Amino acid sequence: MDKLEARTVTEISNLLSSREDVTQTLMTMLSALDKQFPAGVAQFSLGKTCAHYSTSIAEMEGLSRALWGLFPLMAGGADVPFSEKYITAIKLGTDPKSPSYWGETGPYDQRLVEMAAYGLGLALMQDQLTHLFSESELTNLHRWLNQITDAQMPDSNWNYFAIIVQLGFKRAGLPYDQAAIDRRFEMMEAYYLGDGWYSDGPGRPKDYYISMAFHFYGLIYATLNANDDPARAATLRERSCLFAKDFIYLSAADGASVPFGRSLTYRFAMVAFWSGVAFAELDVFSPGVVKGIILRHLRWWLAQPIFDRDGILTLGFAYPNLAMCEDYNSPGSPYWALKVFLIMALPEDHAFWQAEELPLPELAPVHAIVPAQQILQHCENSQHVVMLTSGQLELNNYVNTEAKYTKFAYSTRFGFTIERGRYGIKHAACDSMLLLSDNDNYWRGRRECESVEMLNGAIYSRWLPWHDVQIDTWLIPCGEWHVRVHHVNSARRLQTVEGGFAVMKADADITTRCSKVHAANGQSVIMDLSPYTVRQADSVITPPNSSVMFAECASIPTLVGEMAPGDHWLCCAVTASGHSVPAPLLAPTLVIENNMLHVTDNVSGETISLHL
């Protein structure tokens, strides 16, 4: 342990290539937790911020999420010096006579979520784990976990928690309920959209829960229960193969992934799916490609300031930021990131570890994901990935739902900003959004879409910021740019602001109908293409901690205008780059005539034509 403690996670990340390097990275993270973990207790505190559940449950959550790293390490044969403390904690937490007892669960209980980690441990380690418990202690563990079997839970990926617990029981030789497994799978079948995609429950989003939950748990089940449930295992594997061919487009060549949706504080859980692919030996991409995606992603994250001075993962995304967190994020919540370390259960001689790390395969510059209502653009040889999207919304209305789901575009390099206040455009997170105000400096943008269509090369959506204001929007990828076309039918006189990507604070270069910001972390441009209405170029400076990518104030290039009641066309081209952006003279052009929209890429000369 002295050698591990002498090196920081960042220092280790610079070497991250072998199984030993990954082991050391995980052990360093667990060692930092160990310093906060007193012996002889069933939970530990990692901070004083709160979630919507009690502090004692939050402290149990932090301990439980560490097990997503600890159990694969132990299953892979690693000697983990502090593992005994966790085993003791499990014994105390599941003993109803212990003052540290984790308690009886109720409907929608957070402790049900955490039970999946224990199911994983039982499923991976079997008697290697159960032999550490006496008969009565094992009875306590089984009884406590068995509360999940018929528990009332959200109609979502939570059903997999019960499945993984039952799988653990079965693999460890404990009583299990096959009917409960079948029932939970049947419920989730209603979420299946086709082409490998699910929604996270009826009418809910298609975000990272599809990768880090549905397919991650599904591949564990399909691998460990294939002999007894071959048909279901084959279906799960087939769907994961289909999903992988889409999901790879969310990864950039530098290891970053597109930040989108809720629960971004789980960080490298974003690529836990690929660890599931390696664990399941899924025949979709070579082990070297999968290895490269995972290791580059870990290197990218470990280069970000996401740990506090004690080496504890913070709440936030690319830096500590409570403002963007959901109400279910406790101080220990970020440790779901450790799901990516499922690969530690694979032995040194496994094909994954023996493979040479490979770059991303050659990917199409534009890739449409129809079930997810997304179009992915790969720019700069996949160094920058942009997601265009419509139709997503988290029905639970968590903090900053609009910012996390309903913007027009999300970027691996520039992320997005969150709303920091109710009044004034600088607080309103106008990047990658068209915002409107009814003469009062309160701003509304796209939230719920009335309809969405995936067109040939574009995404269409209809949305109503007020009952008497209807907006039809087309998002069109176009080389290094994307084009936005809005048809606004309004009964009100409105002010409008439309933003490009947010970069670090810098002055904007304002020219006729074009705003360009050249910042320390890149350049961002928005150019007005409106055929009938001229908007003025401007820029907005947001408060610090608005961006999920950097703590500094952000600059957003904007187009501003005012509309009288009636019909209007608002159109623009948007681009951003970590290097130099394309010259405005090479921006796309568009023509609207005879109910047709023609958008031309002035670099390639290609034109996309759409019926309006």
CA separation, residue 473 to residues 220, 273, 430, 597 (Å) = 40, 32, 16, 12
Average pLDDT of the residues in 153-177: 98
pLDDT in tens, 250-298: 999 999 999 999 999 999 999 999 999 999 999 999 999 999 999 999 9
Q: Which amino acid is at 32?
A: A
Tokens matching residue 242: 């289909």
Nearest CA to 500 among 458, 535, 465?
Answer: 535
Residue 389 neighbours by CB distance under 10 Å: 27
Number of CB atoms found within 10 A of residue 583's CB: 10
Instruction: Please state, as a whole number, how many other Cβ atoms lie within 10 Å of the Cβ of residue 420.
Output: 17
Average pLDDT over all residues of the chain: 95
What does residue 316 show for φ and ψ, rounded to 5 degrees?
140, -165
Supply the pLDDT for residue 290.
98
Q: How would residue 14 be classed by pLDDT, with cut points 50, 70 and 90?
A: low
What pLDDT does residue 6 have? 41
pLDDT digits (tens, 9 = 90+) for 185-195: 999 999 999 99
Mean pLDDT of 327-332: 97
Find the length of the chain.
Answer: 612
Residue 390 has pLDDT above 60, yes or no: yes
Burial code (b: 16+ CB inside 10 Å, e: under 16) for 289-298 equals bbbbbbbbbb
C-alpha pair distances (Å), 115 with each of 45, 94, 449: 19, 11, 36
Nearest alpha-carbon partner for 29 in 321, 290, 344: 344
Tell how far CA 367 is from the center of its chain. 19
422 pLDDT tier (thresholds 50, 70, 90):
confident
Are the C-beta atoms of residues 293 and 248 closer than 8 Å to each other?
yes
What would the pLDDT profile of 567-608 be if each residue is shown by its tens digit?
A: 999 999 999 999 888 777 789 999 999 999 999 999 999 999
Cα 185 from Cα 188, distance rounded (Å): 5
- For the segment 231-255, what is each residue's pLDDT rounded down to a tens digit? 999 999 999 999 999 999 999 999 9
Does residue 4 carry a pLDDT above 50? Answer: no
Distance CA 549, CA 75 (A): 35
Q: How far is CA 288 from the centre of its chain?
A: 23
Share of the chain above pLDDT 90, in %: 93
Q: What's the Cα-to-Cα distance from 356 to each of 100, 203, 290, 429, 559, rounded to whole Å?
A: 47, 41, 10, 42, 47
Stretch among 5-19, 170-184, 337-351, 514-528 having the lowest mean pLDDT: 5-19
Rg (CA), the chain: 25
